[in-house]
Structure 1
Amino acid sequence: MDKKRRIEELDHLKIFSGNANPDLARKICEHLSINLGNAYVGRFPDGEIDLKVNEDVRGADVFLVQPTCAPVNESLTELLIFIDCLKRASAARITAVLPYYGYARKDRKDEGRVPITAKLVANLITTAGADRVLTLDLHAAQIQGFFDIPVDHLLAFPVMMKYFEQLKTEDLVVVTPDVGGIKLARNYSKGLGVKMAIVDKRRVGPEETEVGFIIGEVANKNVIMIDDLIATGGSIAQAAYVLKEKGAREIYVGATHPVFCGSAIEKLSAAPIKEIVITDSIPLSEKARATGDKFKVLSISGLLGDAIMRIHHHESVSSLFV
């Protein structure tokens, strides 16, 4: 591709960001060597969202970076209003880039009289005017099927794997803190060429879990515990204590989304964990930054940037993981 054609195509590629994670959006733009789109996202005196796109997007291929992280309802509403604004400004295509997809825990009716919020949010994003979605490590992979528009589901696996391979730690075992994470943990155990173990976890309340027993050998092993997100930190902390009781040596944790709500930072800081490896899908809180070197943040900006460019050029996204 000659330079003139590339410049013309990049003129039609625009990336914007809401207030949820502008630092990640800037890093994506740096990776692609383009400028972040100019938009104002503020508030009216009564707290309603005020938004204006300050540049022409007519006929453009627009990517809007906005994880629906805390404050969740603010971030989600910003996303919907921003999409509506871009649609009314005649953008040719709008891709909602959701590094973290909130409201994903309720993906089915597991008891009577409860909503399926993961489906509701999918409907809202589609109705607002998004043409496609680019997201990362969904809490449940079947959420892709809740959308009636194309969904590109990325995995943080290549970014995490590169880091764990560099550790060059011997006598490793990959551990999943619950049965639901077996498939994710298997990817890491296969990639690292090590065995896998499972922590049996039972949920005894909305924010409380109980660790039962461990399936697999962890005695005298260095452990990498893998999960898609860390919310309250209770499951990870409890699992770390049990692993230590069973003779595990150093314990590392890898999780894509650092939700870290409530007393999560305190629980994780006190737990026998050497390092917690996370991504910048969600901005790391000041409290977590103040803990020192226990939290290691890996950037997914390159992964998202490469996916955005492939979507823009109508190329395969799945080939990023081959």
Structure 2
Amino acid sequence: MAPMNEPKLISGNANMPLATAIARRMSLHRGMSVGLVDARVERFNDGEIFVEVFENVRGEDMFIIQPTSNPANDNLMELLIMTDTLRRSSASRITAVIPYFGYARQDRRTKARTPISAKLVANMMVEAGIERVLTLDLHAAQIQGFFDIPVDNLYASPIFALDIMAHFKGSMSDMMVVSPDVGGVARARELAKRIGAPLSIVDKRREKAGEIAEMTVIGDVAGKKCIIVDDMCDTAGTLCKAAEVLLENGASEVHAYITHGVMSGPAVDRVTQSVMKSLVITDSIAPTDAVKNCPNIRILPTAPMFAQAILNIWNGTSVSSLFETETLSPIYEGMYQRS
């Protein structure tokens, strides 16, 4: 039996366009207007964050939409302070919808006297009053275990599979999925299985941090349309270098499907000048104007998937059903209607 109250959405400043799109999509599903709760998230002159909610949220099932992307610390503090605001306003449950989970790369101690910042951030979220987390393509799946609350980790690979099958219709037999490093093999294998393509790996060796000394292609990519798949693209150095190495090894063309377009520093310029035909990212992080205007970057919407996941959480039904391409296909109906 569905809950009496409607789910209520509230958003910080990190990715307002995505939050608005999720609300619009939920309106279609519910057959009624679903808007964002009226609130203000502002900063004092010294940078302190202030939140004020203008609607009654007592007893409501609240969903805070806030990726903790750049500026990571500001966006994280917004999320924590919004959570405290709602908890002190007697919301019945608070779910954090975090399309991009910042600090995820600090998920283990790589050397002596270093932090595990992802665990610290998880503790802060739980302590603030978050009771459930909904996120997308965590950098490391074990981060779910850092939380003592339920964590639903959605995957972009079903959306990528739909997009690939639509854009490369008629040439699927020529496709090759490529992992840009050994650590990403599981993610690449998952996509390869969905589209029925073989798998290759680019093995990279570093002399020191930030510099790639050597790249070796494991697998025969000659004559193949290569799809590099990864969870995030930061400065795009590794990605662009991997594309060059694949072409040197006989690939006919190279495309990339990356969940989180961090795109910091020289990333956009590198992608623009690279040998890649296209880079496809999601809108988990609000794209900058430079990213939007880049001719070989395409952005896939995640709002349909997040809207359905929020409704499933609210209804108490399965979220894992959204892991399947067949389930997402009707949700994305109309986007991939190609002759």
Per-residue CA distance 1:78-97 (angstroms, 9 max, x = gap): 11111111110100000011
What's the secondary structure of 1:78's corresponding residue? Answer: helix
Q: Give the whole-Å Cα distance in 2 for the aligned partners of 1:197 and 1:59.
A: 51
Inter-partner Cα distance in structure 1 for 2:205 and 2:144: 26
Let me know the Cα RMSD of the aligned residues. 1.3
Match of 2:189 in 1: 186
Corresponding residue for 2:280? 277
1:29-44 aligned at under 5 Å gives the runs 29-33=23-27, 34-44=34-44
Give the structure 1 partner of residue 314 of structure 2.
Answer: 312
Partner AA of 1:227 in structure 2: D
Aligned amino acid, residue 244 of structure 1: L
Show the counterpart of 1:101: 101
Match of 1:23 among 17, 20, 42: 17
The answer as to whether partners of 1:277 and 1:297 remain within 8 angstroms in 2 is yes
Contact 1:211 1:239 in 2 (8 A): no
Tell me, yes or no, if the aligned pair for 2:215 and 2:242 is still in contact at 8 Å. no
Contact 2:97 2:135 in 1 (8 A): yes
Partner of residue 323, structure 2: 321
SS at match of 1:77: helix
Q: 1:83 to 1:197 in 2, by over 3 A?
A: same
Q: Structure 2: 5+ residue runs without aligned partners?
A: 28-33, 325-339
Residues 1-322 of structure 1 mapped to structure 2, 5 A cutoff: 8-10=4-6, 13-33=7-27, 34-167=34-167, 168=169, 169-170=171-172, 171-292=174-295, 294-322=296-324
Q: Say which SS state the counterpart of residue 202 (structure 2) adopts.
A: strand
Question: In the aligned structure 2, how far is the partner of 1:48 from the partner of 1:142?
Answer: 33
d(CA) in 2 for partners of 1:164 and 1:21? 26
Q: How far is 1:73 from its partner? A: 0.8
Shift of 1:210: 3.6
For residues 230-287 of structure 1, what are the alpha-carbon distances to aligned partners after superposition, in whole Å with 9 as ceiling and x for unaligned? 0110110110010111111111100000001111111111110001111000011111
**Paired-residue identity, %:** 48
Residues 225 and 254 of structure 2 are in contact (CA less than 8 Å); yes or no, is this contact kept in structure 1?
Answer: yes
Cα gap change, 1:63/1:203 in structure 2, threshold over 3 Å: closer, same or farther?
farther
Q: Secondary structure at the match of 1:118?
A: helix
Q: Is the 8 A contact 2:221 2:250 kept in 1?
A: yes
Matched letter for residue 290 of structure 1 = N
Unaligned runs of 5+ in 1: none
Q: Name the CA shift for 1:98/1:211 in 2 (closer, same or farther; >3 Å).
A: farther
* Residue type at the aligned position of 2:299: V
Displacement of 1:208 in angstroms is 3.0
The whole-number CA distance in structure 1 between the counterparts of 2:124 and 2:103 is 12
Q: Is the 8 A contact 1:231 1:261 kept in 2?
A: yes
* Deviation of the 1:204 alpha carbon: 3.8
Amino acid of the residue matched to residue 300 of structure 1?
Answer: T
TM-score for both structures, normalised by structure 2: 0.90
Partners of 1:257 and 1:218 in 2: CA distance: 25
Measure the CA separation in 2 of the matches of 1:303 and 1:181: 23
- Give the superposition deviation at 1:203: 3.7
Partner Cα distance (1:204, 1:80) in 2:
39
Instruction: Answer yes or no: is the 8 Å Cα contact 1:280–1:299 preserved in 2.
Output: yes
User: 1:77 & 1:121 partners in 2: Cα distance?
Assistant: 10
**Structure 1 residues 27 and 176: alpha-carbon distance in aligned structure 2, compared to 1, 3 A threshold:** same
> Counterpart of 1:9 in 2: which secondary structure?
coil
**Aligned AA (2:274):** A
Question: Could you give the per-residue CA deviations for residues 3-41 of structure 1, whole angstroms, max 9, x where no partner exists?
Answer: xx88x532xx10000000011011110011111111100
Q: Secondary structure at the match of 1:15?
A: strand
CA distance in 2, matches of 1:211, 1:147: 37
